[in-house]
Amino acid sequence: MKKFRIGLIRVLTSDDQDFIDIHGRFIEERFPHLEVESRCIPDQWEGIHNHELKRIAIPKIVETAKGFKDVDMILVSCADDPGVREIREALPGIPVTGGGETTAALASRYDGKVGVLGIVDYAPEAYERMLSGRIIVAKPENVDSTLDLTTPQGRENCLKTGQLLKDAGAAVIALGCTGLTTIGITKDLEDFVGIPVIDPVLAQGVFACFEAVRRMS
Amino acid sequence: MKKFRIGLIRVLTSDDQDFIDIHGRFIEERFPHLEVESRCIPDQWEGIHNHELKRIAIPKIVETAKGFKDVDMILVSCADDPGVREIREALPGIPVTGGGETTAALASRYDGKVGVLGIVDYAPEAYERMLSGRIIVAKPENVDSTLDLTTPQGRENCLKTGQLLKDAGAAVIALGCTGLTTIGITKDLEDFVGIPVIDPVLAQGVFACFEAVRRMS
């Protein structure tokens, strides 16, 4: 089977290509027929953790998307899907999606309330739109940017918040930030709370899988 | 990578194992790390094409599910998801899904109206529940059971109905019957109407992919 090539955009600036490649490697390890080239946007060292940072990021994300050569699909590796619609307009004919709408779509398959665990106290746009009336949002204490997730305290607060969401009636947890994938918490969180957890980097990988095979005859 | 084993239930009775295996082979060809064992329910030679046939099928589907040995997941290969909830209750601890809720979940990622093309003039339960307010339903002329899809006229009427759904404003088509996979119409339909078409057998395969890798550390 020919490899299906993905251009993946990180919305957190880094000069460490190993770090930039984390989401791409995560996808390649799970789906061997996908090949991921990862790039990050410039000058966004704290990523996106409010509406203003999202607004500033969008044109940079579109430019980064335009820079990929010979890719079969573009993924914006962020639960807020910044620039997804704008890339679709700028590059018609290439499939484009992001961590948010794919997580919301996978979560929609489960019955019951969806707990959204991220780094802001609002749900990402796609979760609101696609799961409206079914979501409960909670933010871990003292976690305000993706960087705060990397401390032991940040990690512990995430687990506690997961439990809180379950106690509040969530039947499934949709992670609201791809930084949670970066710290590798998905499986630990699922073991800790005992309900399914949807990882946004994996979710976009699943949709890339779908895109890779759906026109096979 | 160890194969992920799926027990797949066909809701159309046949004594031809090659025919029974069509959906399973379709999934295995696209996702080489999945292995599918297919079984059909007894005494349902016209499949499920009304509420009464669904009601009769459900206990047989649950019994068939219980018969699988050593499977990692169960798929009910029907867009109406008959028995999916009942199997979940009967066999807790094993992931269970069907062609309907997975198709609706994949379709939910797209913007705009979802055209439902099946063999009945109502949308499958999961499409109504998960895409409410966004669906347009159309049934091909003279197609009243999955068997009618296998004639050249049935096939042509499906293509025409797809065009009709697009003309009515559909931005994506969700097939409402896995019999449409059996006749291999998905790609032709997509070429004919020029909008994405979601195939329910592929959709359940995508969710099996997700299930196969989501607990990998």
Q: List pLDDT tens digits, range B133-167.
A: 999 999 999 888 878 888 999 999 999 999 999 99
Q: Report pLDDT digits (tens) over B185-212.
A: 999 999 999 999 999 999 999 999 999 9
- Spell out which residues of chain B touch residue A184, defining contact as CB-CB under 8 Å: 217
Nearest one of B110, B103, B106, B108 to B84, comparing CA atoms: B103
Residue A24, pLDDT > 90, answer yes
pLDDT confidence tier of residue A132, bands split at 50, 70 and 90? confident
Q: Report pLDDT digits (tens) over A175-198.
A: 999 989 888 899 999 999 999 999
Provide the pLDDT for residue A21. 97
Task: Look at B213 and A184 and tell me if their CB atoms are within 8 Å.
Answer: no
Q: What is the mean predicted confidence (pLDDT) over B66-73?
A: 97
Provide the pLDDT for residue A144. 84
Whole-angstrom distance, CA of residue A183 vs CA of residue A175: 12
CB A34 within 8 Å of CB A73: no
* pTM: predicted TM-score of the whole model, two decimal places: 0.94
Q: Which of A97, A196, A216 sits opposite B109 (nearest CB)?
A: A97
Whole-angstrom distance, CA of residue B149 vs CA of residue B160: 13
Q: Which of A143-152, B52-61, B155-164 has the lowest mean pLDDT?
A: A143-152
Q: How many CB pairs under 8 A join A and B?
A: 72
Provide the pLDDT for residue B131. 93
A42-59 per-residue burial string, b: 16 or more CB within 10 A, e: under 16:
eebeebbbeeebbeebbe
Q: Report pLDDT digits (tens) over B26-44.
A: 999 999 999 999 999 999 9
Q: What is the mean predicted confidence (pLDDT) over A200-214?
A: 96
Q: Which of B32, B106, B108 sits opposite A210 (nearest CB)?
A: B106
Q: What is the mean predicted confidence (pLDDT) over A204-208?
A: 97
Task: Look at A217 and B104 and tell me if their CB atoms are within 8 Å.
Answer: no
Percent of chain A with pLDDT over 70: 99
Residue in chain A closest to B110 (alpha carbons) equals: A101
Residue B217, pLDDT > 80, answer no
Provide the pLDDT for residue B136. 96
Q: Which of B184, B190, B210 sits opposite A106 (nearest CB)?
A: B210
Task: Look at A217 and B187 and tell me if their CB atoms are within 8 Å.
Answer: yes
Residue B92, pLDDT > 90, answer yes
Residue A166, pLDDT > 90, answer yes
Task: Look at A215 and B108 and tell me if their CB atoms are within 8 Å.
Answer: no
Provide the pLDDT for residue A140. 93
Average pLDDT over all residues of chain A: 94
Q: Which of B108, B186, B209 sits opposite A206 (nearest CB)?
A: B209
In B, what residues contact A, Cβ < 8 A? 1, 29-33, 97, 101-102, 104-106, 108-109, 130, 184, 186-187, 190, 196, 199, 202-203, 206-207, 209-210, 213-217
Rg (CA), chain B: 16
The alpha helices in A15-151, defined as continuous H runs, are: 17-20, 22-30, 51-67, 84-90, 99-107, 125-130
Can you say whether the dihedral through the CA atoms of A123, A128, A130, A132 is positive or negative? positive
Distance between B10 CA and the closest CA of chain A, angstroms: 21
Q: What is the mean predicted confidence (pLDDT) over B45-56?
A: 92
- Spell out which residues of chain B touch residue A203, defining contact as CB-CB under 8 Å: 210
- Spell out which residues of chain A touch residue B202, defining contact as CB-CB under 8 Å: 210, 213-214
- Spell out which residues of chain B touch residue A84, defining contact as CB-CB under 8 Å: none
Beta bridge partner(s), residue A138: A117
Whole-angstrom distance, CA of residue B82 vs CA of residue B58: 6
Which strand (E) or helix (H) includes residue A167? helix A152-167
